[in-house]
Amino acid sequence: MTAMHTIYALSSGALPSGVAVVRVSGQHTAAVLQALCGDVPLPRTATLKSIRTRNGLVIDSGLVLYFRAPASFTGEDCAEFQIHGGRAAVNALLEELSQFEGLRHAEAGEFSRRAFQNGKLDLVEVEGLADLIVAETEMQRRLAIEHSGGGQSKVYAAWAKRLTHARAMIEAELDFADEDDVPGSVSERIWQDMATLAQEIAAHIADAPLAEIIRDGLKIVIAGEPNAGKSSLLNALAQRDIAIVTEIAGTTRDVLSVDLSLAGFSVKLYDTAGLRETDERVEQEGIRRAREVIERADLILLLSESMGGFDSLSEIAADGTPVLRVATKIDQPDRRWSPDAADVFISVRTGEGMDRLLDAIASHLPDLSGRTALALPSRRRHVDSLRQALRAIEASLAGESYGLDIRAEQLRLAGDAIGRITGRVDVENLLDVIFSEFCIGK
Examine residue 145 and state whether it is found in any structural domain, yes or no: yes
- Give which of 280, 133, 51, 300 is closest to 290, Cα–Cα: 300
- Give which of 265, 333, 341, 339 is closest to 303, Cα–Cα: 341
Do 238 and 170 fall within a single domain?
A: no
Q: In this structure, are residues 300 and 323 in contact, taking their beta carbons and an 8 Å threshold? A: yes
Radius of gyration of the chain (CA): 29
End-to-end C-alpha distance for the chain, whole angstroms: 15
Do 322 and 396 fall within a single domain?
A: no
Do 323 and 265 fall within a single domain?
A: yes
DSSP state of 342: -
Last-in-domain residue among 362, 394, 424: 362
- Answer left, alpha or beta for residue 329, where phi above 0 means left and psi between -120 and 50 means alpha: left
For the chain of 442 residues, list the mean pLDDT of each consecutive stretch of 10.
Answer: 79 92 97 95 96 93 96 96 96 96 94 93 93 90 92 93 87 64 61 94 93 88 82 81 48 67 86 67 69 83 81 65 88 78 88 91 80 82 96 92 86 93 69 63 68
Examine residue 102 and state whether it is found in any structural domain, yes or no: yes
- Find the CATH number of the domain harbouring 16: 3.30.1360.120
Do 232 and 343 fall within a single domain?
A: yes
d(CA 265, CA 285): 32
Do 342 and 405 fall within a single domain?
A: no
pTM recorded for the entire structure: 0.80
- Find the CATH number of the domain harbouring 404: 1.20.120.430
The pLDDT score that the predictor gives to residue 276 is 59
Examine residue 370 and state whether it is found in any structural domain, yes or no: no
The residue type found at 394 is: E
The pLDDT score that the predictor gives to residue 374 is 81
- Name the strand (E) or helix (H) holding 278: none
- Find the CATH number of the domain harbouring 320: 3.40.50.300
Residues forming beta bridges with residue 61, ordered by sequence position: 50
Domain count, the chain: 3
- Helix/strand/coil for 228: coil
Do 240 and 338 fall within a single domain?
A: yes
The pLDDT score that the predictor gives to residue 369 is 66
Do 177 and 219 fall within a single domain?
A: no
Examine residue 122 and state whether it is found in any structural domain, yes or no: no
Examine residue 116 and state whether it is found in any structural domain, yes or no: no
Do 288 and 328 fall within a single domain?
A: yes
Examine residue 114 and state whether it is found in any structural domain, yes or no: no
Examine residue 440 and state whether it is found in any structural domain, yes or no: no
Do 290 and 337 fall within a single domain?
A: yes
- Give which of 115, 113, 195 is closest to 390, Cα–Cα: 195
Examine residue 167 and state whether it is found in any structural domain, yes or no: yes
Structural domain boundaries, residue 326: 214-362
Last-in-domain residue among 329, 362, 395: 362
Do 25 and 64 fall within a single domain?
A: yes
Last-in-domain residue among 45, 74, 106: 106
Do 55 and 176 fall within a single domain?
A: no
Following CA atoms 92, 93, 97, 98 in sequence, which dihedral angle do they give, to the nearest 10 degrees?
-30
Do 178 and 303 fall within a single domain?
A: no
The pLDDT score that the predictor gives to residue 436 is 64
